[in-house]
Structure 1
Amino acid sequence: MLASATTLSEPSRCKRLKAASTRDHDSVDELVMAARPFDDRERYGLFLQVQHRFHGSLLALYRDEQLNQRLPGLVQLSRFEAVETDMRALDLALPPMPKQISVSPAQALGWLYCSEGSNLGAAFLFKQTQRLGLEGDQGAQHLAPHPDGRALHWREFVAKVDGLTLDADEEAEAIAGAIAAFDSYRTILREVFPD
């Protein structure tokens, strides 16, 4: 299970994940913008609570030994600590540690696809934080680009995920995981933002 692949089929796994979850992705984007998280620092603080709950719930996946064997360097990609750094920079109280999700390794790929893919969209969000007077080292670290750049970081992650061999059931689980991740983010967003 989740062994290294020697050949890649087309379309790639990440392209299939994207196609299967586009509606969910777009729905999350619309909800985030409707929440107006960059209207002021108070609303941005609520956005950080959303990010804390979502990225915190994935911490066990990023630290999972088996997943790190198959996706080398995964443990270093979590943005949870950066979210907490941003909250501290804005003098916000840190919420309790979120409950960790527990999913199969194949489902985890879908959750991680959602989480890592959000780095690309974070380029727009990062620019919005600058209107609030925030920077990568002052309240917006978790939205700042990866040191290697957003595009290169994403291509490297995609290559690792696409390079795994899954059977048909595991492929379906990966898709279900991506959709579940978007569902989770939507739920958190609705719970945290009052309107």
Structure 2
Amino acid sequence: MYEELLREELLSRCKRLKAATHEAHDRLDKRIMAGDPFADRERYGRFLDVQYRFHHQVDRLYCHDELDAIIPDHQGRRRLGLIRKDMQDIGADIPDLRESDADPIDLPSALGWLYVAEGSNLGAAFLLKEAAKLGLSEDFGARHLAGAPEGRGRHWRAFTTALDGMELDGAAEDRLIQGARAAFACVRSLVDLRFGG
């Protein structure tokens, strides 16, 4: 038991977060692919709708002053506008969503949500290849799947290094994990909505 706790302590915060959310992440990936979002442009449009609705919820976090001070190129990581352009490219209906009037989110929970949003971009290289089979690219219809200019890995490491370097107590770490789990659950509910539950 002590050795197990010691091993957990030696893991970086992001590795602990990955382990704590692995099951939810894995189930979500399988659910998305079961929806066959790259079968045709109509199904891809549903995938974009999921992305748009999720990133609409996350977008307010890119206006969080504390996060601006912590995460490199925080404002430049927004993808909502790119998803909107992708939807316009393929003629998909853009949901008419109101600005969120939710209570301000605490910093650790916000970081949990951003962990999911940022992580999805890391894995988007595979999705971009699938989108290419539909005649889509980083310049048309699949802009939001494009990697950062400095590369996906470096972009992700800048985020995880910032997250690992923060001082968070045990309660804040718990809120971080709960925030990430809530984000995965949000995407799962959106996938069920658009692809059938």
TM-score of the two chains, using structure 2 as the length reference: 0.90
The yes-or-no answer on 1:89 pairing with 2:89 is: yes
2:146 equivalent in structure 1: 144
Q: Which of 188, 191, 194 matches 2:193?
A: 191
* Contact 1:86-1:141 at 8 Å conserved across structures: yes
The aligned runs of 1:22-171 (5 Å cut-off) are: 22-97=22-97, 100=100, 102-171=104-173
Higher helix proportion (structure 1 or 2): 2
Structure 2 gaps of 5+ residues are 1-8
Structure 1 gaps of 5+ residues are 1-8
- 1-structure distance, mates of 2:154, 2:193: 34
* Contact 2:121-2:147 at 8 Å conserved across structures: yes
Sequence identity percentage: 44
* Contact 1:38-1:129 at 8 Å conserved across structures: yes
Work out the number of aligned pairs and report it: 187
TM-score of the two chains, using structure 1 as the length reference: 0.91
Output the aligned Cα RMSD.
Answer: 1.4
CA 1:98 to 1:28, structure 2 compared with 1: closer, same or farther past 3 Å? farther
* Contact 1:53-1:98 at 8 Å conserved across structures: no
- 4+ residue segments displaced more than 6 Å: none
Q: Which deviations, in whole Å up to 9, do the C-alpha atoms of 1:29-82 show, x marking residues without a partner?
A: 001100100000000000000000001110111121121112232111011111
- 2-structure distance, mates of 1:172, 1:71: 20
Q: Which of 172, 175, 179 matches 2:174?
A: 172
